[in-house]
Structure 1
Amino acid sequence: MYTCISCGAPGHPHCESCGQRSTALSPPAPVSFPQLLSAAPNKIPSVEAKKELDPKDLQEIGDVVFQDHKWEEALQLLKAREGWGRSAAKEVLLQGAKSLGFWHLPDESLRSLVDQLLGDKPGPSYALQQWAAEWTDTTMARDGKSDNSLAARLNSKDIAGSVETHRFAPDIDMDVDMSSSPRNFQKPHSIVPDWRGHFVSPNYFRCWNIGIHFVVFGLSAAYASDLVIDKYPDAVKLFSWPIWFARLGGMATSIWSALLFLTMSRAMLSSTSRCLPKWASFLITFLDSHKDFHIEAGKALCLYSSIHVTGHTIGTVPGVMQKSVAELNRLLGCAQDDPPWLVDLDLSQLYWPMCPLTEENKPKTFTEALFLTVPGVTGAMLTGMLALIAFTSRQSFRSKHFECFWNLHNVAIFTWPILLFFHGSQGWVGVGIPLVVIVSALPIATYAIGRIARLLRYYLFVGKAVRILRATVRLGRKGDVNGSLTQLEVTPPPYLWSFHAGMYAFICMPDYAPLQWHPFTITSGKDDATVNFLVAGVGDWSNEVARRCLKGELPRLALDGPFVSPTQSAMDKEVLVAIGAGVGVTPFLSLLSTFLVQLSGTDASSLLEAHFYWVTRDPSEFIFGAPLLRNWLSHRPLHAKIVVHLYTTARCPEKDLPSFLFKECLKRQGAVDRQYFKAVFPEWQQQNLQAPGPQFPWCWAEGGQEELLWVPCPSRDDFTEKFWLVSSSSPGSELYTSQQSDAEKASEKIMMPVNIGRPNFLRDIAAIGRARPDKSLHVYVCGNDGLVHDLQSGCQRIAKEALERNPDQKNLQQYLVHFERFG
């Protein structure tokens, strides 16, 4: 057996992957498990006193190594340096690990990597041996060879719906490389012939979008036709056919204005979502995508307003100027004794010009029609306001001038319906009452109720019942608040607050920007004592939060909500995959917390299997989920239903020797670990255990070749240079101080694999679907639009290939992609 000296791939004397020469590597002989485990994982070589290699030496070696990146030359040059040994090798690796975001690694994580760097014959990583030892003990306990309560709990029959481990094909090829990019999808490793899958993508949002447009157009067209054909038959004679388009645009503008307010009535939407049955996915889509519909309503409002203005400009205004007063008064509803109105509402005090028209007050020029009539003046004001809102709502402007965008929206919330009322109050060619009253009154009222509730939460709780107990700040890359992450632990309001996992809330910092409210997903669980938020430093407001916390001045906060989000529906699913990219993991931290409490207690849960993916550029972000990870690790039976996958996409700096050596050691140690895992994997499968364990390398079992680094559960003590903890001195804050249980302290010794690189979601989703062919698979994602698109298209490709293999299947498995939308 040979292994390539460049890429670490096993193969022939000359690597087929990169063409470099290979060196012989003795494969593990087929031995029994006691022999494989003879190197006890708890026997870690002691590290001698700390010694550091001279930085000049590292620079000289780097200048040589980076000419061709030869691993062997690097080892030879390092061995030739004075003071080179285990301690110096460890320090070099620690420096390289920091470049990837791992600021502290224990000896258990570094032992095999140090052996690689010293050129010794390395054994398998400590965590792999730990995993093999644990399941071997579990097997012995199950067979009655030892008394192990943990094993009994893991294999008890009362754990319903454990992780299906038979998804892995027995003869899986561990050496086949699979791309980690969803765009470079390859067929999943599987020899199971009866797997069936289907991607159900009716695209509910698009259906809602198209459906609403058709309904609005149909209602508006019917209204315009009724006016110009039935109620005002002379309208076309006087103003020609543009009057029909003007009335269509007027009704459509009123309907889309109503939808603008309706889609921002978050309190009403949240209450409605709790009343809908679980199967009403089509209706739930509208609630989940209310922000998208709000944007769509704004665009449609611009379109129909243009039609309304154009119709009046080329038809109504010329007709008023050209026709006689007598002809106009015979047509105008306000001038008739028995007008064709639905509601006879006396608004004569608002008429300008007075109706019936006279020769003196009839507009004779376009300027008079625009500036000497209520419809003209209010129409110009509405058009100007709409243009300003459209301009300031663009992403490029909103991100740089959010306060201008937000203040203009607040002004428009009050002035837009008032101007619409005055604009339709003249009753010339209408139904006797402004359309905004008929169409938009109820949505505006529901929105007003939500704003009143916000004011009550603001004045009743800010700085009193709602206060920050603790704040944890992780500095940005440059050591300042730019790019920082701030975790806020806030006391919840005593009332006007009903929280469920996956919801979000708005936060206001009145001492800095009293009118700005920003949405953040709640990361704490339903039963937690505090309401937790994770704030990314990407703007003035979020940077100010971090800046004040670093000064020890915990800011006053006001909360509004909580409100429903798509993640909330995940609590009812049987098989789900939750994917959080960066700070997008926040809704899934709340979900994980609630699942842990639910499954640890007596609460009923329909969950069979859940996979949580946390993808981040900086592994230090895992600190914010450390309490949940410790809780998960300490409850071993939960490993049968919940799996946590940690990924980091951090990149090493170029031409940095410690980083290069660390990555090379990881790559080469990965080849050794995969060989070891391949040797023990078949026997592990034969045991049919229900819980693979937190150390289990899922990516390798599913055919991948990702680089793994096993680390213990992170702690803030590991990142003292990057994290700042600020606690409140308010009375009662000690009630929320968390104390670790004995099980949680013991869990700190368990090593978890961190995948270096991007996850191959398609491979993993295919494996989960293969294991659960009779269950629908729900994928929840909170990330950028590119990730959402890749998952949607990727799941469709998975299902298409499965359907081609089994075209006669009737009950097809569903793949549903839910993406986070709030605001």
Structure 2
Amino acid sequence: MVDWITNELPRWLVLSVWIIVNIVLFVTTYFRYLKADEYYYLRELTGSISLACARASAACLKLNTMLILLPVCRKLISIIRGSCACCPQPLRRQLDKAITYHQYLAYMICLHSAIHIGAHCFNFENLAEAQRARGNDIRNYLSLLPTSPNGTWINPIRTSDPVPIQELLKTVAGISGVVITLCLVLMVTSSTEIIRRSYFELFWFTHHIFIIYLLGFLIHGAGMIVRRQSNLDEHPPLACKDSPTTWGKAKCAVPQFEGSFPDGWIWLLVPMLIYIIERILRHVSGMQRVVITKVVTHPSRVFELRMQKKGFSAAPGQYIIIKCPSISRLEWHPFTLTSAPSDEYFSVHIRRVGDWTEELARLCHVDEGDFQEAWKLPSIHVDGPFGTATEDVLAYDVSVLVGCGIGVTPFASVLKSFWYHFCHDQRVFLQHVHLFWVCPDTSSFEWFQGLLLDLERQMRQQGTNQLLSVSVYLTRGWNANQARNIVLHDDSSVYDAVTGLHHKTQYGRPNWETVFKELADNHKGSKTGVFFCGPKQLSTTLHKLCNRFSSLEDKTKFVYNKEHF
């Protein structure tokens, strides 16, 4: 039970509250339009259930569209995260799931959009059918009410033999609805994992049509075609509906109708202001001068940018986003900070794996190798830093860091900061760090290997080598003969033949169940934070193992944290 409370309960509480609010809003709106007398005649024209479903889904669309902007306000989330340092960790960890919640909100918007569109298709078909009604059919009388400044009319379709789709596209709601739907389809389809990984620029540019989506959302109700009766006292519909020929002549006045006030802007006002202010602040921050003080070339096609910026400060594990106008004036790319707060500069390590990174390497003269003066280096803009789950590494009794390939990058700053705090007698709760590095081949990320060698050397000099244990797993780039020779060499040396560390490299993928069993046995009663940066499949495995090996009996807890960018 402790595992579920630690790793699952906060998330399910957030999701449960959100789902319950959606259900309550949908149900209350549904029954309001299904039962209220002011919408009696509109139900006669459109059909009771389709009208109620359309309006209930519209209410939920307003709620979720209001919320969807907030999870992508990176600066706001970082500020909240920093100001909530005294809050319980389970609550703070929900901020790290902001993008996940953003996706859930998008799914809910898609669901209610489908309901809304389907219901209105029925509504307009019924309105067209009502316009074709003849004789004593009450729909005929309602459809013939004149269009006048006093708002008598209720049926927006005015032609005698209407085509529903054509009539729909004559309205502001119809045109804006089509635009909104197209924008939603483009944003959702371009957000799939395969598009984001293979064509990130397509995802980035397409996602920014949310501006058109929001504008369409704001004007969608401007036509006010959903009309309610405004003179119930003079014309009670239940008493007057059976004698439409006497309307205005006897006790029943002619029914008067008015459009529902468009309130979409009320829902969006606050989040849009927050988002606009955030974008302005980030733009101002991003335009501040950044000086590249040094470019360091590392093996494995990795280079390091060391930079300085006035007023810049960051916590361990945070990340920044970088734009180089000489390459693109629109593209921003996220990079984890590899410098510690104690450094006089802030730095990122960039692997050359695409057009943008290759061009940045060329502009920084990486292949030339010689020291370059600042004026020869490109102008770059830096936005951030932004918070991530890794900020909490120092808050646990034991921290387990798991990185796959380049996913080890966030832990560079953490390890530097941990050692700095320990050496300067600052209060550190963390008692031990386990680093598991699953590396694809022997030539990958030697720059991080150098950091580990330096830390290991300093810890051994001070007799504190028990603070850090490193497990490197080499998954490919070797054959059976090479592995045999390496193992034979390892038997005669205290240093690993591959990494140069005292900790020996292991070959193949780790058995994570065995790893967690050993961690649970060695750290009984401890609160262990597990931090992961890597592929989704392994993330799922580690998450499940954190739950399985948490124990209520000996108060051992494994708290799972995943990096999100």
1:264 paired with 2:264, answer: no
> For each residue in 1:61-91, what CA deviation from the matched residue of structure 2 results, as whole angstroms up to 9, or x when unmatched?
xxxxxxxxxxxxxxxxxxxxxxxxxxxxxxx
Q: How does 1:773-784 map to 2 (within 5 A)?
A: 773-784=524-535
Q: CA deviation at 1:522?
A: 1.3
Retained in 1: the 8 A contact 2:527–2:557? yes
For 2:254, the equivalent position in structure 1 comes to none
Return closer, same or farther for 1:671/1:786 CA change in 2, 3 Å cut-off: same
Cα pair 1:257 1:440 within 8 Å, conserved? yes
Larger radius of gyration: 1
Partner of 2:307: 490
C-alpha offsets along residues 560-616 of structure 1, whole Å, 9 cap, x if unaligned? 111111111222112111111111111111111111111111321111222222222
Displacement of 1:815 in angstroms is 1.6
**Secondary structure, in 3 states, of the residue corresponding to 2:331?**
strand
**Hey, what's the Cα distance between the residues in 2 that align with 1:211 and 1:537?**
44
- What do residues 683-719 of structure 1 show as CA deviations (whole Å, max 9, x unaligned)? xxxxxxxxxxxx69xxxxxxxxxxx537546xxxxxx
The separation in 2 between residues aligned to 1:257 and 1:419, in whole angstroms, is 12
Partner of 1:467, secondary structure, is strand
Q: Do the aligned partners of residues 197 and 250 (structure 1) sit closer, same or farther apart at CA in structure 2, a change above 3 Å counting?
A: closer
2:134 is matched with which residue?
none
| Rounded Cα–Cα distance in structure 1 between residues aligned with 2:522 and 2:91 | 30
Q: Which has the higher contact order (CA 8 A, sep 6+)?
A: 1
Return the match for 1:818 from 554, 561, 565: 561
Aligned partner of residue 359 in structure 2, secondary structure: helix
Query: Structure 1 residue 581 and structure 2 residue 404: aligned?
Result: yes
Give, in whole Å, the separation in 2 of the partners of 1:331 and 1:542. Answer: 66
Q: CA deviation at 1:628?
A: 5.8
Shift of 1:498: 4.2
- Correspondent of 1:253 among 58, 61, 70: 61
Deviates more, 1:229-238 or 1:772-781: 229-238
Q: Which residue type is aligned with residue 431 of structure 2?
A: L
Aligned pairs for 1:304-383 within 5 A: 304-319=112-127, 322-323=130-131, 327=142, 364-383=162-181
**For residues 767 and 336 of structure 1, do their structure 2 counterparts lie closer, same or farther at Cα, with a shift above 3 Å needed?**
same
Query: Does structure 1 residue 503 correspond to structure 2 residue 338?
Result: no
Task: Indicate conservation of the 8 Å contact 2:130/2:140, yes or no.
Answer: no
For residues 146 and 354 of structure 2, the distance between their equivalents in structure 1, rounded to whole angstroms, comes to: 56
Change (3 A) 1:237 1:572: same
Does residue 437 of structure 2 align to residue 639 of structure 1?
no
Sort the Cα spacing of 1:797 and 1:401 in 2 relative to 1 into closer, same or farther, 3 A: closer
* TM-score, with structure 2 as normaliser: 0.81
Judging changes above 3 Å, is the alpha-carbon distance between structure 1 residues 586 and 250 closer, same or farther for their aligned structure 2 residues? same
Task: Give, as a single letter, the amino acid of the residue that structure 1 aligns with 2:163.
Answer: T
2:232 is aligned to none
Aligned partner (choices 523, 542, 546) of residue 791 of structure 1: 542
SS in 2 for 1:556: coil
Aligned counterpart for 2:294 among listed residues 439, 449, 469: 469
1:604 maps to 2:402:
no
Take 2:59 and 2:31, find their aligned partners in 1: how far apart are those partners?
11
The match for 2:243 is: none
Partner Cα distance (1:651, 1:445) in 2: 50
Give the superposed CA RMSD: 3.4
Change (3 A) 1:486 1:322: farther
Alpha-carbon distance in 2 for matches of 1:670, 1:752: 11
In structure 2, relative to structure 1, the CA distance for the partners of 1:788 and 1:360 (3 Å cut) is closer
1:423 aligns with 2:259: no
Deviations 1:388-436 (A, max 9, x none): 22222222233333223212222x2322221111102233338954343
Give the SS at the match of 2:539.
helix
**Equivalent residue in structure 1 for 2:199, among 391, 401, 408:** 401
Instruction: Give per-residue Cα distances to partners, 1:542-568, cap 9 Å, x unaligned.
Output: 333334343557433211111111111
Q: Matched residues in 1 for 2:367 and 2:261: separation? A: 57
Q: Is the 8 A contact 2:54 2:115 kept in 1?
A: yes
**Does 760-769 or 598-607 show the bigger shift?**
760-769
Secondary structure at the residue paired with 2:288?
helix
| Amino acid corresponding to residue 428 of structure 2 in structure 1 | S
Q: Deviations over 1:312-361 (max 9, x none)?
A: 111245326625686369999x9669xxxxxxxxxxxxxxxxx7778868
Looking at structure 2, the residues matched to 616 and 397 of structure 1 have their Cα atoms a distance apart, in angstroms, of: 26
| Mapped contact 1:521–1:533 kept (Cα < 8 A) | yes
Question: How many equivalent pairs are there?
Answer: 514
Distance 2:260 2:193 in 1: 40
Give yes or no for contact 1:197–1:769 (8 Å, CA) kept in 2. Answer: no
How far apart are the structure 2 equivalents of 1:286 and 1:789?
Answer: 17
Change (3 A) 1:821 1:242: same
Aligned CA distance change for structure 1 residues 474 and 318 (closer, same or farther; 3 Å) = farther
Change (3 A) 1:235 1:641: farther
- Cα distance 1:375–1:419, how it changes in 2: closer, same or farther (>3 A)? same
Structure 1, 555-564 or 623-632: larger mean CA deviation: 623-632
Is the contact between residue 436 and residue 473 of structure 2 (CA under 8 Å) also seen in structure 1?
Answer: no
Q: Counterpart in 1 of 2:252? A: none
| Displacement after TM superposition at 1:757 (Å) | 3.5
1:539 maps to 2:354: yes
Q: CA separation in 2, counterparts of 1:362 and 1:269?
A: 55
> What is the identity, as a one-letter code, of the residue corresponding to 1:667?
V
Asked if 2 retains the 8 angstrom alpha-carbon contact of 1:599 and 1:605, the reply is: yes
Q: Which runs of 5+ in 2 are unaligned?
A: 132-138, 228-258, 369-375
Structure 1 residues 524 and 380 mapped into 2: Cα distance closer, same or farther (>3 Å)? same
Alignment correspondent of 2:246: none
Corresponding residue for residue 448 of structure 2 = 624
Q: 3-state DSSP class of the match of 1:709?
A: coil
> CA separation of 1:208/1:579 partners in 2, compared to 1, >3 Å: closer, same or farther?
same
Report the AA paired with residue 474 of structure 2. T
Structure-1 residue corresponding to 2:28: 222
Q: 3-state SS of the aligned residue for 1:534?
A: strand
Answer whether contact 1:487 1:533 (CA < 8 A) is retained: yes
Moved more, 414-423 or 360-369: 360-369
Aligned to 2:474: 649
Task: Decide which of 648, 664, 670 is 2:484's aligned counterpart.
Answer: 664
Q: What is the match of residue 519 of structure 1?
A: 334
Deviations 1:732-765 (A, max 9, x none): xxxxxxxxxxxxxxxxxxx553334333444343
Secondary structure at the aligned position of 1:489 is classed as strand
Identity of aligned residues (%): 22
Q: Per the alignment, do residues 593 and 672 of structure 1 end up closer, same or farther by CA in structure 2, a change over 3 Å counting?
A: closer
CA change 1:624–1:281 in 2 (3 A) is closer
Greater CA drift, 256-265 or 228-237: 228-237
